[in-house]
Amino acid sequence: MKISMYEDVPNFGDVLNRYLWQPYLGEFIGRDDNILMMGIGTLLGHSKSHDGQVIVCGSGSGYGGDFSQLKNENWKIFFVRGPSTAKALGLPSDLAITDPAILTPEIFPAGPKTGKTIFVPHWESSLNPLWESACKRAGVEYVNPLDDIAKIMQAISGASLVIAEAMHAAIIADAYRVPWVSVSTSSRINGFKWQDWASSLGMRHHFQHYAPLGLTNKVFNLTSGRADMFETAVASSANHNQAAHVITARQSPSFTQSAKAVYKKIIPQSWQGGKDLEVISAAAVVADRALNGVLKTGIYNRYFDKTLDDIRISAAQSGMLSDEKIHEEKKSMLKEKLVEVHRYLAEKN
């Protein structure tokens, strides 16, 4: 069995797939049986050219795409990330359990308590060097989501509060019972998948929206098209299912909205949400690195003021945690499903 995962960048949420499944399904991983497993990640809707069996264990939707594949007879869905995914894909509600990353503490033991407040950005935001500098000025520890996974688990489990733009930072913090705050630094952050996971544990999260920092985050706002694409996909594939309305509303100034509308008319649609980000943000990142170098010399021009306010507001919050009883129930349900998956794979031998 091969595990499908996003491997373009070493984002810790995706890398977790290499570790989490070993205690439960390890004897089948790597077996030559033409089975593809979709586990942790927003993977559903991405077309898979696989001619063998496909099994789904906790994946979610969030970016639209082709959901028709899920109805093929070679697909077997054991469980998905949350109720919003189940609704969007027209699946029974009992297939919505929670994100498998809830089991992380069983793979990576908790580290010593540091009492620190940490900030874990989305991997795209980590391309912008200004966030690390801003965190340092605000007295918050910056954790790179592309760092060694064991190091990240130690930082999250030992913290007193996790400011999470990376959704799996919040999921893993909740699993270690560390309070978390969800934030968004650009409109590329997908509110649908956040609410999908949060509602699986009986929560409704709310983003604290940060002001864009540097050219990189302004480009992210300008090139964002994911929410629009997903809302269209859900409406067409699920008969105007109400799941589309779970997407967090974007709170952008009217100037930004107008600029984005003009941008979408100028840039070819085939580039939007992909090549445009790759090409344009590369230049923005270079510019922000240069600016970061200047700011590190001690020059201060009120550049970070709004950002520092945003971070300090987050750091002053008590944070969220799922209900302990619901949390334990979901872990038990997930483990029961994995026993079922194990039995299924054993029969395929």
User: What pLDDT does residue 51 have?
Assistant: 84
> How large a percentage of the chain has pLDDT more than 90?
60
Q: Sorting pLDDT into bands at 50, 70 and 90, what band is 65?
A: confident
Q: Sorting pLDDT into bands at 50, 70 and 90, what band is 1?
A: very high
User: What pLDDT does residue 285 have?
Assistant: 83
pLDDT digits (tens, 9 = 90+) for 4-43: 988 888 999 999 999 999 999 999 999 999 999 999 999 9
Q: Is the pLDDT score of 294 beyond 60?
A: yes
Domain boundaries, the chain: 2-105+324-347, 106-315
Q: Sorting pLDDT into bands at 50, 70 and 90, what band is 220?
A: confident
pLDDT digits (tens, 9 = 90+) for 247-271: 333 334 455 566 656 656 665 655 5
Please compute the mean of the pLDDT values over residues 85-107 and round it to a whole number.
95
Please compute the mean of the pLDDT values over residues 282-294 and round it to a whole number.
83
Q: Look up the pTM and report it.
A: 0.85
pLDDT digits (tens, 9 = 90+) for 295-333: 876 766 577 889 999 999 999 999 999 999 999 999 999
Place of tokens 């984002």: 11
Q: Is the pLDDT score of 279 beyond 70?
A: no
Q: Is the pLDDT score of 47 beyond 60?
A: yes
Give the tokens for residue 137. 């000025």
Q: What are the distances in angstroms from CA 78 to CA 49, 194, 239, 347? A: 20, 21, 24, 15
pLDDT digits (tens, 9 = 90+) for 205-218: 889 999 889 888 88
User: What pLDDT does residue 228 have?
Assistant: 41
Mean pLDDT of the chain: 85
Q: Sorting pLDDT into bands at 50, 70 and 90, what band is 277?
A: low
* 3-state secondary structure labels for all residues of the chain: CEEECCCCCCCHHHHCHHHHCHHHHHHHCCCCCCEEEECCCCCCCCCCCCCCEEEEECCCCCCCCCCHHHHCCCEEEEEECCHHHHHHCCCCHHHECCCHHHHHHHHCCCCCCCCCEEEECCCCHHHCCHHHHHHHHHCCEECCCCCCHHHHHHHHHHCCEEEECCHHHHHHHHHCCCCEEEEECCCCCCHHHHHHHHHHCCCCCCCEECCCCHHHHHHHHHHCCHHHHHHHHHHHHCCCCHHHHHCCCCCCCHHHHHHHHHHHHHCCHHHCCCHHHHHHHHHHHHHHHHHHHHHCCCCCCCCCHHHHHHHHHHHCCCCECCCHHHHHHHHHHHHHHHHHHHHHHHHCC
> How large a percentage of the chain has pLDDT more than 70?
82
User: What pLDDT does residue 8 have?
Assistant: 83
Q: Sorting pLDDT into bands at 50, 70 and 90, what band is 186?
A: confident
